[in-house]
Chain A
Amino acid sequence: MRLIRQRGRLLSAMVRPLIWLLVIGSGFGTMMSQYGTDDYQQFLVPGLLCMVLLFGAMLSSLSLVYDKESGVMRMLIIAPFPHYWIILARTISATIAGLFQTILLIVILFALGFLRLPIDIPLFLLGLVVTSIVCASAGTLIAVFSKTLENFAVIMNFVIFPVFFLSGALYPLKNLPTFLKIVTLINPFSYGVDLLKHALLLDMPKSFSAEFSIFQDLLCMVSFCIVALIIACLRFSQATVMENLANLLSTPKHE
């Protein structure tokens, strides 16, 4: 019930990603048509969707760091529910923010003819939701641990881009050197991309199709989310973290 109210607030912040999405979406559209083989275009679709999920959900949950200093956070920490709810609610709203942007992209891709049937729709939706939760919880985890967003560019460079590039979104994982392959196996995002490949690339040549089993994908992502969220909640409820937050929120700033 309270979670719903909070999500409502976030809807207002969605106009910006929408513009962003149109630019990225069309940019990638042309990029995709430049690539030679039709198969590779199709191969990129799951990765592209995941990228938008990643950016949308992760950036949205990372904005928790900004919110630490906002008036809304003051309202939230004195509201009568456990403080870890704030974390969970933020993660859910970030998940939805990511999904919302992705759905827009899907519509665009479909209109442009990049999304080719047949699609395993239930699996596709499941993949989108789970991947979005993964991205959102990863963002929440980072946000809970980082004190300020001065290192925001650092996070962008050292988290989002590697996570994206080392995920099988742009190329199949088999061809990677062993070291990078290990990294991709640790990367929970890889499994999201893979799951969407299961759903979307039903009639692909072997070299481009999914590389893990559906069960493997889901297991890895779900366990990552649970672990990440538990750590984030524990960390957020820790006395020292709350102390810092409380002091931060009570120190008058000159606006």
Chain B
Amino acid sequence: MTLAIQTQNLGKKYGNLQAISSLHLEIPEGQFFGLIGPNGSGKTTTIHILSTLIRPTTGTVLVAGHNVVDDPVAVRRKIGLVFQESALDRTLTVEENLQFSGALYGLDHRLIAERSRKLLDLFDLDGKRKAKVATLSGGMRRALDIARGVLHQPRILFLDEPTIGLDIINRRRIWRFMKQLRQELGMTILLTTHYLEEAESCDQVTFLRKGELIGQGRPDVLIRELGAFILEIESDEPEESIRLIQPQLGSPVQEGEKLFFRIPDATFSIGRLQDELQGHIQSFNVRKPDLNDVYIWKNSALEGGNTAC
């Protein structure tokens, strides 16, 4: 299995600020890889290093087989990058933008026209070919931006928060496009997001926290490992509830008046616990865990306490 991206001991310092420390990533070719973490956790910095825009302070990075420090131009030829903000000329039309961008990769005029026709079809932008970018909606612009990012058929596509600032309908559309792209072109996609529910369709996710890797794996495996269910309790007297539940379910994660407990075993008797808690709680809710829970538990384990934020 060839690796699309490989980093070893990757670190980046801005002055005194350690943005990323000793990051090891191995992303096989063709994978749909999610880089997850809150703002300031180093996601964008990582993407910038992988796409040769900034230099790592320590460590080695190989992207599509090329070293990002020694041969940035070769790396840039094989990758596509979609920024959080659009990389389009607002005064030009959809078609002109694609022509210009394609020309930057040395593509032939006719080849660009042919590929853009396909991409615009795929992204429902077919009727907007002659429209100025400034007149497009946010969702269309993002779709066009992604089309621009894959026009030169990169081996690896980087998407920095591809769905940020979009409403739910447009977010779903963008996800559908990404799925179609993967089917049609089979490229490796690395994306960052903080909408964790979206990342569940990734092949592999990595959690970043303050520039450090705090967990990695397949989303479904990570969720299964966390537990069968999550018990959510709202209580005026959290201390009392914790005292009652802790012996059975272990330490909770606390968010204000809410307590989260992991239920590791699907056969656990929830009814009995509910009876014991009578009178201590306002609400009692048992649900399936998701990636958010995975992140919260990983985070709280590191903070050493029982609070997560």
Chain A residues in contact with chain B, CB under 8 A?
Answer: 1-2, 5, 9, 12, 70-72, 74-82, 239, 242-243, 245-247, 249-253
With A and B bound together, what is the CA distance between A9 and B79 in angstroms? Answer: 24
List 5 additional A-B contacts (Cβ < 8 Å) besides A75-B88, A247-B44, A250-B84.
A71-B85, A74-B86, A80-B73, A242-B54, A246-B48
Residue of B nearest to A246 (CB): B53
Taking CB atoms, residues of chain B closer than 8 Å to A74 are 83, 85-87
CB distance from A86 to the nearest CB of B (A): 10
Contact between B106 and A2 (Cβ–Cβ < 8 Å)? yes
| Interface of A: prevailing SS | helix
Residue B90 at the chain A interface, CB threshold 8 Å: yes
Residue of A nearest to B74 (CB): A80
A sample of 17 inter-chain contacts (CB < 8 A) reads A5-B103, A71-B85, A71-B86, A71-B88, A71-B89, A72-B87, A72-B89, A75-B88, A75-B100, A78-B81, A80-B77, A82-B72, A243-B48, A245-B53, A246-B53, A252-B85, A252-B164
Supposing A9-B89, A249-B83 touch, asked if A75 and B101 sit within 8 A by C-beta, the answer is: yes
Residue B248 at the chain A interface, CB threshold 8 Å: no
CB distance from A137 to the nearest CB of B (A): 23
Residue B135 at the chain A interface, CB threshold 8 Å: no
CB distance from A79 to the nearest CB of B (A): 4
Taking CB atoms, residues of chain B closer than 8 Å to A253 are 85
Contact with A along B267-283 (1 / 0, CB 8 A): 00000000000000000
What's the interface size class on B, roughly?
A: 35 or more
Report which of B76, B88, B106 forms a contact with A78, defined as CB distance below 8 A.
B76
Contact between B85 and A249 (Cβ–Cβ < 8 Å)? yes
With A and B bound together, what is the CA distance between A1 and B108 in angstroms? Answer: 11
Contact between B73 and A82 (Cβ–Cβ < 8 Å)? yes
Contact between B87 and A239 (Cβ–Cβ < 8 Å)? no
Chain B residues in contact with chain A, CB under 8 A?
Answer: 14, 44, 48, 51, 53-55, 72-74, 76-77, 79-81, 83-92, 100-101, 103-106, 148, 160, 164-165
Report which of A9, A12, A75, A80 forms a contact with B148, defined as CB distance below 8 A.
A75
Taking CB atoms, residues of chain A closer than 8 Å to B77 are 80
With A and B bound together, what is the CA distance between A77 and B73 in angstroms? Answer: 10
Contact between B104 and A250 (Cβ–Cβ < 8 Å)? no
CB distance from A5 to the nearest CB of B (A): 4
Supposing A239-B55, A242-B54 touch, asked if A75 and B87 sit within 8 A by C-beta, the answer is: yes
CB distance from B130 to the nearest CB of A (A): 16
Taking CB atoms, residues of chain A closer than 8 Å to B87 are 71-72, 74-75, 78
With A and B bound together, what is the CA distance between A136 and B296 in angstroms? Answer: 54
Report which of B79, B81, B83, B103 forms a contact with A2, defined as CB distance below 8 A.
B103
CB distance from B116 to the nearest CB of A (A): 15
- A-B pairs with lowest CB-CB distance, top 4: A74-B87, A80-B77, A79-B104, A246-B53
Taking CB atoms, residues of chain B closer than 8 Å to A250 are 44, 48, 83-85, 160
Residue of B nearest to A69 (CB): B85
Contact between B76 and A79 (Cβ–Cβ < 8 Å)? yes
Residue of B nearest to A77 (CB): B53
Taking CB atoms, residues of chain A closer than 8 Å to B84 are 250-252
Contact between A80 and B76 (Cβ–Cβ < 8 Å)? yes
With A and B bound together, what is the CA distance between A77 and B76 in angstroms? Answer: 9
